[in-house]
Structures are given as C-alpha cells and as structure tokens.
C-alpha cells in the first residue's frame, strides 16, 4: 500500500520553532551540567515463529530528542502547578556520601581522577564530561558504573525533587497509556479540577511504594527478556 502524507506550512513552521526551543532548552541543561546518560537501546527482530533473527541498536533521531525534551518539560510543569495538593512525584534523591567515595576509588582504578567537592548534579555532569573522549566501550562502562552510584528514582507522595534532571518539581504525566502512575496523575488532576478532596495519606503513601516496586519488577522482566533473546540469537 502506498501512503501519501500532506504536511501544511503551518505544521512545518510549528515543528521548526519547536526544534529551536528544544536547542535552547538543551543548551541550558548542558550549561547547568544536567546529567545525560544516553545509553543505547536494544531492538530485536523476530521471524514469523517468534524467533530472534537480528539484534541491533535502536536508532535515535533529532525527533526523538525533541519529543523527550518537551515530555520532561510537561512533567515538570504539571508537578509544579499541582504541588500545592498531595500529588504523585517522580523523585530522585541525592546520592549517599559513602557511595560517592566508593565511586571515586573505582574511577581511580580506571585512570579517571575526580574528587567530588560536593554532591551536586553539576559535579556528576562534570564527571560524565571526562568520559567523552574515551573509547565507546570504556565510556559506556564508566557511565553505567557512575549511574549505579546514584540513588534509584521512585514514586513518592512527598516531593524530594529530581537530582539527575536538576529539577525541584517532577512527575510522570506524559505516558498514561503505558505507565500506571501517569494515569493516576491524570486522574488526580481531574479530581482536583473538579474540586475533589485530598486522598487518604496512608493509602496514598502505600500506593506510591507499590508503584515503585512494580516498576522495578517490570524493568527487571524487560532486561531479562532481552538478555534471553540475545542468548537465543547467539545460539546459532
């Protein structure tokens, strides 16, 4: 089947302006040393019987980055606007001092000299910048090692901010089709817009913990399924 797409001049101008704004936001984040872990994602091609026939890296384009930038901005805006109500935040707390000291020792082994003066997002951003000129394999290994030093992001009814993104307010709001906490954020928004009362705090806290544990379970399942299919592909 052949498809013909018609694009209006107005749409092209809007996308062009959006791309300009994306570059401004990215430049600001770069100057603020916001952490940028851009790990490659794996794509597996299957045959008609569900067997893996190829494993490759998922290509990323400027359009991916444009959507990502505005999704983060939307998440921040919603969390900030509704911070006066009990809300579902996506938090990322400051790394523990002991974990930072251990990271420094590990980096020394790989010839990377970096002494943390303070536990800030910018400090980690400066460290990631030191990996930029290293060979890909070593750079990605050190980036993952650094990432493991950071505390794990989670859901909370109390706002602790997002360390990695260097944001005071952050939520998950933009993917209600695939992520349950986002759907809850949408329902909370509508509930408050309709003049509804705040939810029960104990139940709400338990719900946030449940979302965090289910997210980790899903992430582990996804990782394991990819590893399984990679091994199955390599069998041949």
Residue 45 backbone class (left: φ over 0; alpha: ψ -120 to 50; beta: rest): beta
Predicted local distance difference test score (pLDDT) of residue 52:
95
Give me the phi and psi of 152, to 5 degrees please. -80, 135
Q: How far apart are CA 89 and CA 80, in angstroms?
A: 10
Count how many residues are written for the chain: 236
CB 165 within 8 A of CB 74: no
Q: How far apart are CA 105 and CA 111, in angstroms?
A: 10
State both tokens at 91.
């938090």
CB 83 within 8 A of CB 171: no
For residue 75, which of 63, 54, 91 has the smallest C-alpha distance? Answer: 91
Predicted local distance difference test score (pLDDT) of residue 2:
62
CB 86 within 8 A of CB 43: no
Predicted local distance difference test score (pLDDT) of residue 30:
84
Give me the phi and psi of 54, to 5 degrees please. -165, 145
In 32-135, alpha helices (H): 62-81, 97-109, 121-130
Point out which residues pair with 91 in neighbouring strands. Answer: 154
Predicted local distance difference test score (pLDDT) of residue 60:
87
Task: Please identify which residue in the block is written with the tokens 């509704």.
Answer: 82
CA angle at 148 for the pair 38 and 173, rounded to the nearest 5°: 60
Its sign, for the CA torsion 76, 80, 81, 83, is positive
Provide the residue-wise pLDDT of the chain in tens; the chain has 236 residues.
Answer: 566 778 899 999 999 999 999 999 999 888 887 887 777 789 999 999 999 999 999 888 889 999 999 999 999 999 999 999 999 999 999 999 899 999 999 999 988 888 888 888 888 888 888 888 888 889 889 998 998 888 899 999 999 999 989 999 999 999 999 999 999 999 999 999 999 998 888 888 999 999 999 999 999 999 999 999 999 999 98
CB 35 within 8 A of CB 164: yes
CB 168 within 8 A of CB 161: yes
For residue 30, which of 39, 38, 18 has the smallest C-alpha distance? Answer: 38
Q: How many CB atoms lie within 10 A of CB 184?
A: 23
Point out which residues pair with 90 in neighbouring strands. Answer: 155
Report DSSP state, residue 30: H
Query: Model-level pTM?
Result: 0.85
């Amino acid at each position: 089947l052949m498809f013909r797409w018609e694009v209006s001049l107005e749409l092209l101008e809007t996308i062009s302006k959006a791309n300009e704004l994306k570059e401004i936001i990215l430049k600001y984040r770069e100057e603020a040393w916001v952490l940028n872990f851009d790990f490659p994602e794996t794509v597996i091609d299957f045959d008609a019987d569900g067997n893996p026939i190829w494993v490759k890296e998922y290509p990323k384009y400027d359009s991916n980055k444009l959507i990502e930038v505005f999704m983060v901005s939307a998440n921040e805006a919603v969390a900030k606007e509704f911070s006066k109500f009990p809300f579902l935040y996506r938090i990322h707390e400051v790394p523990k001092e002991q974990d930072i000291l251990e990271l420094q020792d590990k980096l020394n082994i790989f010839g990377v000299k970096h002494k943390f003066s303070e536990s800030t997002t910018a400090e980690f951003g400066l460290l990631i910048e030191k990996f930029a000129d290293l060979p890909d394999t070593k750079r990605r290994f050190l980036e993952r090692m650094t990432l493991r030093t950071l505390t794990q992001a989670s859901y909370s009814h109390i706002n602790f901010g997002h360390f990695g993104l260097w944001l005071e307010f952050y939520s998950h709001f933009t993917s209600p089709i695939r992520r349950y906490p986002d759907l809850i954020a949408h329902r909370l928004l509508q509930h408050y817009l309709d003049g509804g009362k705040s939810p029960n705090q104990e139940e709400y806290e338990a719900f946030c913990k449940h979302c965090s544990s289910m997210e980790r379970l899903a992430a582990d399942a996804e990782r394991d399924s990819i590893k399984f299919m990679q091994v199955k592909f390599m069998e041949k």
